[in-house]
A and B are shown apart, each in its own frame.
Chain A
Amino acid sequence: MNRIASLVSGIVFGLGLTISEMINPAKVLGFLDLFGNWDPSLMFVMIGALVVSSPMFHLIKKKEKPIFAEKFNYSNNKVIDNKLVIGSALFGAGWGLGGLCPGPAISSIALLNIYSVTFVISMFVGFYLVKTLKSI
């Protein structure tokens, strides 16, 4: 059952990215163009997502366990360090250049756009590089 839940959650997430048009890099870059021709849409996407998820997280956390798993499994990392700020800054630079972050990038594979597929392959190379360097 947890497998089906993962698939369904991914599908619903992908639908949300499509309906909100966040799958489109031009739309995301419009949001980041704060000092030019600004498109505030992305802010409304985040507000919409938080309006649903934030109160529900609070309620669900009070449950003894999730429905299809033995226990809740999420990071409670509170460390604020250089890695957090610098890593996010590197991500922000890539996001501002390409207009894609991991979710929309993977969803956009469906559209068979060769530029976004190139981005996704490169992103996975980045994941692999960090994993490899960490394990040395």
Chain B
Amino acid sequence: MNIVNFTPITAFTGGLIIGLAVVIFFLLNGRLVGISGIASNALTSKDNKLDNILFLIGLIIGPIIYSFFSNQSVNITISNSYIVMIFAGLLVGVGTRISGGCTSGHGISGIGRFSLRSIIATVSFMTVGIITVLINNLI
């Protein structure tokens, strides 16, 4: 193992801000942030539809506001083919709805409440994620 590209300060700062977003949603609206649930319900459920859609719009506005005020462009790197992205998206969509949560719902909201269910989910998706990358690197 080599440690590379490690950015602890921006990572921790960004994490604090994500924690703040989760607290705002809970304190004001009484709901726990779980983005797979919010996104899935925005599409398929009548309950809180407008709230869910507004949250998702907010997620998209976030990087635009960052870019505007910091004068820095936000860059991402994806080195996969379309086929891999389609397959990966399907797995994420199906998997999070079967398990009832993703990195935010289980990883932050769930672990933040010391939910054993969420700890098990997080260990499961992280372990499989690490194994998937390991296999992908070997192929």
Pick the contact of A124 from B7, B82, B93, B102 — CB < 8 Å?
B93
Which of under 10, 10 to 19, 20 to 34, or 35 or more describes the interface residues of A? 35 or more
- Chain B positions within 8 Å of A100 at CB level: 88-89, 92
- Chain A positions within 8 Å of B71 at CB level: none
Chain B min CB distance to A119 (Å): 4
Which of under 10, 10 to 19, 20 to 34, or 35 or more describes the interface residues of B? 35 or more
Main secondary structure of the interface of A (DSSP, over half): helix
Residues of B within 8 A of A (CB): 1-8, 10-33, 35-36, 39-40, 43-44, 50-52, 54-66, 74-80, 82, 84-100, 102-104, 106-109, 111-117, 120-122, 124-134, 136-137
Residues of A within 8 A of B (CB): 1-3, 5-27, 29-30, 32-54, 56-57, 60, 65-69, 71-75, 77-80, 83-103, 105-111, 113, 115-116, 118-131
- 15 CB contacts below 8 A, A to B, read A13-B58, A16-B17, A35-B130, A50-B19, A50-B112, A51-B19, A60-B27, A75-B32, A75-B100, A88-B124, A91-B128, A98-B85, A103-B59, A125-B89, A127-B43
